[in-house]
Structure 1
Amino acid sequence: MSPDTATQVPTDLVVDVGPVAHGGHCVARHEGRVVFVRHAIPGEKVRVRLTDAGPDAKFWRGDVVEVLAASPDRVDHFWDLADSARSWSHRHPPLGGAELGHISLERQRSLKAEVLAEQLQRLAGVDRVTEVEAVGDQAARDGLAWRTRAGFAVTPGGKLGMHAHRSDTVLPVREMPLAVDGINALRLWEIDLQGIERVEVAAPANGSRPLVLLVPAAGTRAKRLSAILSQLPDNVSVASFDPVKGEALQLRGRTYVQESAAGHEYRVTGDGFWQIHRDAPGALVGALTGFLHDGGFLDSGAVVADLYAGAGLFTAPLADAVGVTGSVLSVEGSPGASRDARKNLHGAPQVEIVQGRVERVLRQKPRNFDAVLLDPPRAGAGKAVVDQLIGTGPRAVAYVSCDPASFARDLGYFQQGGWELSGLRAFDLYPHTHHMETVALLTPRR
């Protein structure tokens, strides 16, 4: 909240809701000023409580507290703590992480498609409308129970909690409807978590042993960790995690989880990255290998790079495709994830694993690639990496992105280098949130 509103009673406005925008909100206007409204649907008339406002601000932010004219796509929110109107009626902001829970799943996907199309047109000059595809049995599960990983805060009283959106407020929770049963079954809300700042949980979709990572507050003693450990089920691995060093200290069981995807087994250590939707790994592997296979870029003997490779989710199926006569260069900046990749791919002699920054590795190991798999973090690859990639002369790049804005920006860089968008698929891997995943095929312009 800005200094202008920190000491004031929040102001309510009545607005007509305009188009959806990237970031989980819709655009409205009040006396010429833009108001980014969360928990609305385009076409509605709503009462908004301003959460970030000031007389000199370029725009304001607000939450819906009352719907005066509802969209036919509005549904009852599945989670009271994330329902904006209900939460504000109890004098607290709603939880983050389920900001589209008031919208039907079909309309959620159409709104995400609108956001993707707008970003592509505005940032890359590409006019393209792409359906956002449902994944797995989302409809049967109402878009719930898909998260195999979840992060929690801890209230001052030691209860499991989550943050309200753009707020330091931590609200106690007694369920996480978006999480798989393996996470909710731990019933972490019944445990006294005093001395812990954060809890990270991973429960693999294959049913293998879950992992609970405890991030202790400064000065927390081993005796307190032992007390928490005694309250957790025996079949759960538990570790203490130091976010500064990035190290997990074993308290019980393993410091990693065992994941399965595309016919391979993967070890993922600590807080290492893994796709959080239970069906995401298979969907994404199928999309990217489909693009590369169909284009003739991924045959036996091909030379391929997997950049920002993590624990090797995509590296393993790429290695299968190129065979022992081909080669795959795996590049990952995180030392822990790179160590996992070495363990996961120790039986694939055609794979070379290098830990380091992508731009540095590409300079040190110049080669001509048939295809490159690019799966950068949310911020995207950036112009320097895109220019380096173009300079290596690949025949195709398969780009996996979790952010339409950074993807569209990078697509613009590829286009400046003489490349074009040859294929695009989008997936609703984060139902009830504004996030989506895209898989694109980029090729040199003919």
Structure 2
Amino acid sequence: MARRKKSAPLTGEVRSVGRGGDGAVETPRGIRWVPGVFPGERVRIRPEGKGARLLEVERPHPARRKPPCPVADTCGGCPWMALEPAVQRELEATWGREMAARLGFEGEVPVLADGDEAYRRRARLAWNHRGGATRMGYRLAGSRRLVDVERCLVQQPALQASWTALRSLADVLRDSGEIRLYRHGDAAAALLHADEPQPPEVYDRLRALVAEGRLAGVGLSIQGGVPATFGETSERYPGPDGEPLDGPPGGFSQAHDPLSLQLARDAASRALAFRPERVLELHAGHGSFTVLLAREAEVTAVEISQAASDALRANLEARGLTAKAVAEDAERYPASFEGYDVVVLDPPRLGAKGAVERLVAGKARPPVVYVSCDLGTLERDLRALREGGYELSELRLYDLFPQTARVEALAVLTPTP
């Protein structure tokens, strides 16, 4: 079979950057979306499928810099590291202002930030043994390709120390697998998911790393089976109230310390400002908002993951607090919003379409505090709420993912008078 001929390079100017982080490059053959470029730059690209690959920056953005990480250009985990942090946040602020204008909101849209390096308390990595050598590092977005990484500038020191410890297994790990690394107190724990059985030396080394205190705990599973565990494998980090917050092994939590804790405090304070007696919290996770809300109100916390719901209940009990923890689909539960004084939403990237549709279809109109990790689905849901009898009273952004185009948002909505 003949090889497909490469497309000829094109030169164009970057007109804007979309919310996904890719730049819209205007070329003689139309717009091409290209990662790693910034507004106003003149670039040389090679079309590939519907997008294109950057070949050369002929006229750089004034704030373009040499990334402080030596593998930033190949790793792909921090695609905006080549841009000064202040300008990263200005791009995010532009998205926020544009979205607010489309929704008829005229207030300020601040972008909160706190630290651009050594902020991540969790990371997803991988290994691949091929040709007698093992690579350990990050996978490129949307790819199985792996970039070997010894040191990651955005990992917290505890994670970096544990990552260094895990890399000592490179001579015994075989085949390939995924690694989840996350905080457990002052150290880190890890879950390894291998595609094929691993030699006994791997288990011996993992057990030794825990015994030596280089890992708080570790679990190793083969093809999704029950993991062999050593030590403590739960996630544990300071909660927004200053007390330890525990999450299930491999569960979800935000990666950014301390900004994610500030977001939790802000969301809870907005909800409690309505002086509610009863709060409905949907997509409650393991309780980062609940431990604040339950101090002043009767809370029903809905979370589809049984493990996360159990952890939420345990976190409340450790604080002497109570709430109704419900392990159900938050997009379908409860049947009615009547009787609740405020609703707190914190859905995954897909948004809260089901909950929003049920809310606007019902008779009750409690205020809504909506936390989102995707501006696209957030705008969709805010528009539906606005058309269903709500108005947007506050919108703020949080740079929870420095060096990337991702941003978290907090929106407060009140019933239209």
Identify whether the pair has TM-score above 0.5, normalized to the shorter chain: yes
Q: Which amino acid aligns with 1:63?
A: R
Deviations, residues 34-80 of structure 1 (Å, cap 9, x unaligned)? 21121111011112233x32xxxxxx323333221122111111223
1:418/1:444 contact within 8 Å kept: yes
Q: 2:183 aligns with which of 200, 203, 214?
A: 203
Tell me, yes or no, if structure 1 residue 69 matches structure 2 residue 59: yes
2:291/2:321 contact within 8 Å kept: no
Tell me, yes or no, if structure 1 residue 320 matches structure 2 residue 300: no
With 308-317 and 253-262 compared, the bigger mean Cα shift is at: 253-262
Alignment map for 1:293-308 (pairs within 5 Å): 293=272, 296-299=273-276, 302-308=277-283
1:400/1:437 contact within 8 Å kept: yes
Q: Runs ≥4 in structure 1, deviation > 6 angstroms? A: none
Q: Where does residue 177 of structure 1 map in the other structure?
A: 153
TM-score by length of 1: 0.84
Q: Where does residue 388 of structure 1 map in the other structure?
A: 358
TM-score by length of 2: 0.89
Residue 371 of structure 2: SS of its match in structure 1? Answer: strand
1:113/1:129 contact within 8 Å kept: no
How far is 1:425 from its partner?
1.1
1:159/1:191 contact within 8 Å kept: no
Identical columns (%)? 27
The whole-number CA distance in structure 2 between the counterparts of 1:105 and 1:392 is: 45
The whole-number CA distance in structure 1 between the counterparts of 2:30 and 2:306 is: 47
Q: Where does residue 90 of structure 1 map in the other structure?
A: none
Q: Where does residue 239 of structure 2 map in the other structure?
A: 261
Q: Which amino acid aligns with 1:279?
A: P
Residue 358 of structure 1: SS of its match in structure 2? Answer: coil
The whole-number CA distance in structure 1 between the counterparts of 2:260 and 2:90 is: 23
Aligned residues: CA RMSD: 2.5
For residues 125 and 155 of structure 1, do their structure 2 counterparts lie closer, same or farther at Cα, with a shift above 3 Å needed? farther
Q: Where does residue 126 of structure 2 map in the other structure?
A: 153
Q: 1:356 aligns with which of 321, 328, 332?
A: 328
Residue 331 of structure 2: SS of its match in structure 1? Answer: helix
For residues 68 and 400 of structure 1, do their structure 2 counterparts lie closer, same or farther at Cα, with a shift above 3 Å needed? same
2:128/2:176 contact within 8 Å kept: no
Residue 54 of structure 2: SS of its match in structure 1? Answer: strand
1:238/1:255 contact within 8 Å kept: yes
Structure 2: gaps spanning 5 or more residues = none
For residues 15 and 341 of structure 1, do their structure 2 counterparts lie closer, same or farther at Cα, with a shift above 3 Å needed? same
Q: Where does residue 270 of structure 1 map in the other structure?
A: 249
Q: 2:304 aligns with which of 305, 318, 333?
A: 333
1:400/1:439 contact within 8 Å kept: yes
How far is 1:415 from its partner?
1.1
1:305/1:371 contact within 8 Å kept: yes
1:155/1:161 contact within 8 Å kept: no
Structure 1: gaps spanning 5 or more residues = 54-59, 84-93
1:20/1:114 contact within 8 Å kept: no
For residues 144 and 243 of structure 1, do their structure 2 counterparts lie closer, same or farther at Cα, with a shift above 3 Å needed? farther
For residues 163 and 278 of structure 1, do their structure 2 counterparts lie closer, same or farther at Cα, with a shift above 3 Å needed? same
Tell me, yes or no, if structure 1 residue 372 matches structure 2 residue 343: yes
1:309/1:375 contact within 8 Å kept: yes
Q: Which amino acid aligns with 1:64?
A: L
